Amino acid sequence: MLCDDCGKNPATVHLTEIIDDQMTELHLCEECAHKKSQEIEQNFGLGDLLGGMVDINKAEKDPEAAKIKCPNCGLSYTDFKKIGRLGCGDCYIAFKKYLAPLLKRIHGSSQHMGKTPAKSAMGLKEKIDERDLRNKLQRAIEQEQFEEAARLRDQIKEHEKKAAEENDEDKE
């Protein structure tokens, strides 16, 4: 069977396309199939998928959603719904009320549950814990909670001491 598009090469990819409830079968060669996949991506990308999922969200029932804009990049929630892409990292905060349910629907959770290599997982966890302690220390200092700040400072020193001991063990 020859390619339906170019009529020269043997068809190796077989697609079923449904447009307006009409089914069409396409038999394409590798080259024409590649062109077709690029065309599909241009017409229906990730942005369209996310934008479609957002419409299902409670945002369409909330007139306030249309008024929300990211303070950093100026992207409106309406624009996000159209293009399906956020403008910057601050958009996550600006649109949090509407993104959280969407992300939960897509990923099954609103918390990132990534994986780390087993060998480095302990070191990474310690770094994250220490970073969190330093952030809490900074907030405590800003809020003039000096007793809490002193407790956090001691915990950070304990983390640093433990990390130094582990580094010494690794060198031996």
Let me know whether 94 and 140 are in one domain.
no
Q: Is 95 left (phi over 0), alpha (psi -120 to 50) or beta?
A: alpha
Higher pLDDT, 55 or 162: 162
Between the CA of residue 134 and those of 43, 149, 158, 164, what are the distances in Å? 47, 10, 13, 17
Q: How many domains does the chain have?
A: 3
Tell me the pLDDT band of 118, cut-offs 50, 70 and 90.
low
123: tokens are 């070191």
Tokens read off for 134 = 């330093």
- Asked if residue 96 and residue 142 are part of one domain, the reply reads no
| Sequence letter at residue 149 | A
pTM > 0.75: yes or no: no
Please give the Cα distance from 113 to 125 (Å, whole number): 13
Answer yes or no: do 56 and 91 share one domain.
yes
Copy the structure tokens of residue 138. 């900074």
Q: 26 in a domain, yes or no? A: yes
Question: Are both 38 and 54 inside the same structural domain?
Answer: no
Indicate the range of 27-31, 88-92, 118-122, 162-166 predicted with least confidence: 118-122
Does 162 share its domain with 129? yes
* Digit-coded pLDDT (tens) for 2-31: 988 899 999 988 877 677 778 888 888 888
Q: What proportion of the chain, given as a percentage, has pLDDT over 90? A: 18
Residue 84's nearest CA partner among 102, 109, 105, 72 is: 102
Mean pLDDT of the chain: 77
Q: Using N-to-C axis directions, what is the helix angle for 96-107 and 46-56, rounded to 10°?
A: 110
Residues of the domain holding 123: 118-171
The residue out of 107, 128, 149 marking a domain boundary is: 107
